[in-house]
Amino acid sequence: MSLAAACRLLALFLVLLPLAAPARALDFWSESVAVDVTAENAVAARAKGLEQGQREAFKRLLERLVPEEERARLPRVESLLATRYVRAVEIRDERVAPNRWLATLVVGFDPDAVRELLAGRGIALLEPERVPAILVVPAVRRGRALAMWAREEPWWRAWERIAIEERGLEVRLPLGDVRDLATFDAEELETGDRAALDRLAERYGAADAVVALAFDPEAAIARNESPRVEFFAGGGVLRGEPPAVEPARGEGDPLDRAARAAARRLVESWKRQTVARADRLAELSLSVPLADLASWLQIRRTLEASPEIRAIRLVTMARDRVELVVSYAGDLARLREGLARRGLELVEEREGWRLRRAAAPPGTGPG
């Protein structure tokens, strides 16, 4: 082989090496997508990969934010300009060939833009501050025998793996120490003692606790199926037991598949409860002090652009103030946070609620 040919091979090898990038944990408004695209040349392949990756990431985000039964109401991502909602794109593990581009895209989205999109279609969504911690106690039933607190069980190990990747809820696993066993054991499960499970959740600072009970996993694995999984929940945010996960065939480890499906079932059950409550409208009467008509028009435009606010009703208008009633989705804390992001401060005074321009930080101009 000539020296020139060897140099060309070395250059191609270096191009195909992954470009190292520091891995960071995904935040609530980000999605990670692997892309592998081909085109007439490397530049076109990269452009195509970036477009497809951002669109796929946006689709995944929207589906994660709403319950499964609400997804039919989501807008088609293909009909939207996905980049309008993108805040940042990080490229990891990039590899380039003459007509091929491979990479992992970490796409961060603009929360306000996404909220506005969904609010405009009357779709309630999850908010990051509302994602609770759920304590999961993996258990196994083999015939009449019940195995609890067996951390060496493959079923428990599967949940250890799934807990790391699940983002729809914060999945926590207990220590399985003597105190746990004294709080909730097989007898409490058999008798349906929810109060004992609530005490376990309280120990770990979780919003609820649930036993994920896998049935005869070895027999299911022998049939190349994931085992059936049933739940027993405490009295927290899940508000009862989610539907059981039925056996299913598929790719990968059957226990991992079952744990992943069970985690999704927990997420969907919580979403259904939470989003239903968030979608209820509340009303708030408030007063808006005014300097002039232009200031009221500016404040009104800001209110109309706020995804939390669904309707504005003008009650009275004077030269120095406006009295109005706003209908809003979610709770009051979420409304105040949303208005604060837009430079408005909602404060409770002795006479009632007052809306005013937030004081600008030193050295900044008007918003």
Amino acid at position 224, single letter: N
Q: How many CA atoms lie within 13 A of 22 on its CB side?
A: 1
| CA 56, 54, 131, 334 torsion-angle sign | negative
pLDDT tens digits, 67-76: 777 788 898 8
Best mean pLDDT range from 21-35, 73-87, 103-117, 216-230: 216-230
Contacts of 83 (CB under 8 A, 6+ apart): 54
Instruction: Tell me: pLDDT of 361 over 50.
Output: no
Instruction: Tell me: pLDDT of 355 over 90.
Output: yes
Instruction: Tell me: pLDDT of 363 over 90.
Output: no
pLDDT of residue 280: 62
Q: How far is CA 125 from CA 26, 74, 130, 242, 330, in A?
A: 19, 11, 10, 20, 10
Determine contact, residues 40/49, Cβ cutoff 8 Å. no
- The owner of tokens 């506005």 is 116
pLDDT of residue 31: 92
Best mean pLDDT range from 52-61, 166-175, 283-292: 52-61
pLDDT tens digits, 243-258: 999 999 988 899 999 9
Instruction: Domains for the chain: give ranges and CATH numbers.
Output: 18-125 (3.30.1660), 131-277 (3.40.50), 281-357 (3.30.70)
pLDDT of residue 203: 94
pLDDT of residue 128: 63
* Choice between 22 and 339, residue whose per-residue pLDDT is larger: 339
| CA 243, 244, 248, 253 torsion-angle sign | positive
242: closest CA among 220, 216, 213, 219? 213
Determine contact, residues 41/98, Cβ cutoff 8 Å. yes
Average confidence (pLDDT) over 121-129: 71
pLDDT tens digits, 75-119: 889 888 888 999 999 999 999 999 999 999 999 999 888 988 887
**Coil vs helix vs strand at 8:** helix
In 184-331, where does DSSP find H-type helix? 186-191, 194-203, 217-222, 254-278, 293-304
Look up the pTM and report it.
0.60
Instruction: Tell me: pLDDT of 11 over 50.
Output: no
pLDDT of residue 360: 45
**Coil vs helix vs strand at 320:** coil
Report how many helices (DSSP H) and strands (DSSP E) the chain contains, helices first: 11, 13
Instruction: Tell me: pLDDT of 132 over 60.
Output: yes
- The owner of tokens 């009632």 is 352
- Return the minimum-mean-pLDDT range out of 91-95, 278-282, 293-297, 358-362: 358-362
Task: Provide, rounded to the nearest whole percent, the portion of the chain with pLDDT above 70.
Answer: 87
Average confidence (pLDDT) over 299-320: 85
**Coil vs helix vs strand at 195:** helix
Determine contact, residues 338/306, Cβ cutoff 8 Å. yes
Q: How many CA atoms lie within 13 A of 334 on its CB side?
A: 21
Tell me the Cα Rg of the chain: 26
Best mean pLDDT range from 43-47, 294-298, 355-359: 43-47
- pLDDT confidence of 45, banded at 50, 70, 90? very high
Average confidence (pLDDT) over 330-356: 85
Computed over every residue of the chain, the mean pLDDT equals 84
How many whole angstroms separate alpha carbon 65 and alpha carbon 117?
Answer: 12
Instruction: Tell me: pLDDT of 367 over 70.
Output: no
Residues in the chain: 367
Determine contact, residues 30/107, Cβ cutoff 8 Å. yes
Instruction: Tell me: pLDDT of 21 over 80.
Output: no
How many whole angstroms separate alpha carbon 30 and alpha carbon 16?
Answer: 26
224: closest CA among 247, 192, 199? 247
Assign residue 168 a region: left if phi > 0, alpha if psi is -120 to 50, beta otherwise? alpha
pLDDT tens digits, 167-208: 778 899 999 999 999 999 999 998 999 999 999 999 999 989
How many whole angstroms separate alpha carbon 276 and alpha carbon 306?
Answer: 20
What burial class does residue 288 get, using C-beta atoms within 10 Å of its C-beta: 0-12 exposed, 13-18 middle, 19+ buried?
A: buried
**Coil vs helix vs strand at 110:** coil
